[in-house]
Amino acid sequence: MKTYTNLFISAIIITIVSSCSTSKGRSNVSQGTGLAINSPRGGFKYETGYKGQEVGPGLVFVPGGTFVKGKVQDDVMHDWNNAPVRVQVRSFYLDETEVTNLMYNEYLDWLERVYKNQGNLYADVYTAALPDTMVWRSPLGFNEDMVNNYLRHPSFQDYPVVGVTWQQATNFAKWRTERVNESILEREGYIEKGVSIQIDSLSPGKEFNTQTYLLAPKQSYGGDINEKAGRNSQPRSKDADSTELNFVKREKGLLLPEYRLPTEAEWEYAALGLNEAREYNNYRGKKKYPWSGASTRSSKRKNEGDQLANFKQGKGDYSGVAGWSSDNADITAPVRAFSPNSFGLYGMGGNVAEWVADVYRPIINNDVSDLNYYRGNLYKKPAINEDGKTKIVDKVIIDTMANNKLAVKALPGDVVFSEIDKNDSQLRINFNEAYNADFLDGDVQSNPNGDADEMYKFAVNKKGDQIKDKEKVKSLISDQTRVVKGGSWKDRAYWLDPAQRRYLPEFMAADYIGFRCAMSYLGESKQKKRPRD
The region of weakest confidence among 154-168, 220-234, 252-266, 441-455 is 441-455
> 385-420, pLDDT tens digit by residue?
999 999 999 999 999 998 999 999 999 999 999 999
> 188-224, pLDDT tens digit by residue?
999 999 887 777 667 888 999 999 999 999 999 999 9
Q: Is the pLDDT of residue 533 over 70?
A: no
pLDDT attached to residue 16 = 46
> Which residue did the predictor score with more confidence, 187 or 238?
187
Band of residue 467 on the pLDDT scale cut at 50, 70, 90:
low
Decide if 515 contacts 169 (C-beta within 8 A). yes
**CA–CA separation, 133 and 317 (whole Å):** 24
Q: Give me the mean pLDDT over the 162-169 stretch.
A: 98
Backbone phi, psi, residue 133, to 5°: -75, -15
Three-class SS of residue 16? helix
Other C-beta atoms closer than 10 Å to the C-beta of 397 total: 14
Residues 380, 382, 383, 389, Cα dihedral to 10°: -170
In sequence order, what are the residues at sequence separation of 6 or more whose Cβ sits closer than 8 angstroms to the Cβ of residue 213?
Answer: 181, 185, 220, 247, 248, 255
**What's the angle, vertex CA 356, arms to CA 447 and CA 452, rounded to 5?**
15
Instruction: Read off the DSSP letter of residue 454.
Output: G
The region of weakest confidence among 32-46, 345-359, 519-533 is 519-533
Q: Are strands 397-400 and 406-410 parallel, antiparallel or unpaired?
A: antiparallel
> Which residue did the predictor score with more confidence, 183 or 5?
183
Band of residue 73 on the pLDDT scale cut at 50, 70, 90:
confident
**What's the angle, vertex CA 467, arms to CA 466 and CA 471, rounded to 5?**
155
Band of residue 244 on the pLDDT scale cut at 50, 70, 90:
confident
**CA–CA separation, 187 and 192 (whole Å):** 9
Entry field: residues in the chain:
533
Nearest to 491, CA basis, from 361, 356, 359, 354: 354
Q: Is the pLDDT of residue 15 over 50?
A: no
Q: Is 413 exposed, middle or buried (0-12, 13-18, 19+ CB in 10 A)?
A: buried
DSSP E strands in 284-367: the ranges are 353-359
Q: Give me the mean pLDDT over the 363-382 stretch.
A: 90
Band of residue 446 on the pLDDT scale cut at 50, 70, 90:
low
> Which residue did the predictor score with more confidence, 327 or 145?
145
Cα within 13 Å of Cα(479), Cβ side: 15
**CA–CA separation, 290 and 310 (whole Å):** 13
Quick one: three-class SS letters along 69-113? ECCCCCCCCCCCCCCCEEEEECCEEEECCCCEHHHHHHHHHHHHH
Other C-beta atoms closer than 10 Å to the C-beta of 299 total: 11
Q: Are strands 353-359 and 481-485 parallel, antiparallel or unpaired?
A: antiparallel
**CA–CA separation, 71 and 85 (whole Å):** 9
Which run of H or E residues covers position 484? strand 481-485
Decide if 417 contacts 381 (C-beta within 8 A). yes
**CA–CA separation, 326 and 298 (whole Å):** 10
Q: Give me the mean pLDDT over the 446-461 stretch.
A: 56
List the beta bridge partners of residue 483.
503
Q: Is the pLDDT of residue 453 over 70?
A: no
> 270-319, pLDDT tens digit by residue?
999 988 878 777 777 788 889 887 888 877 767 767 788 999 989 998 88
> Which residue did the predictor score with more confidence, 286 or 501?
501
In sequence order, what are the residues at sequence separation of 6 or more whose Cβ sits closer than 8 angstroms to the Cβ of residue 67?
Answer: 86, 87, 89, 269, 272, 274, 283
Which run of H or E residues covers position 206? none
The chain-wide mean pLDDT, for the chain, equals: 86
pLDDT attached to residue 44 = 86
> Which residue did the predictor score with more confidence, 277 or 468?
277
SS3 content of the chain, % helix, strand, coil (to 5): 25, 15, 55
Band of residue 468 on the pLDDT scale cut at 50, 70, 90:
low
Nearest to 99, CA basis, from 152, 162, 52: 162
The residue ranges of every structural domain in the chain are 101-261+376-470
pLDDT attached to residue 472 = 59
pLDDT attached to residue 23 = 45
Q: Is the pLDDT of residue 168 over 60?
A: yes
The CA-to-CA distance between both ends of the chain, in Å, stands at 47
Residue 227's alpha-carbon distances to 221, 223, 253, 446, in angstroms, are 9, 9, 24, 54
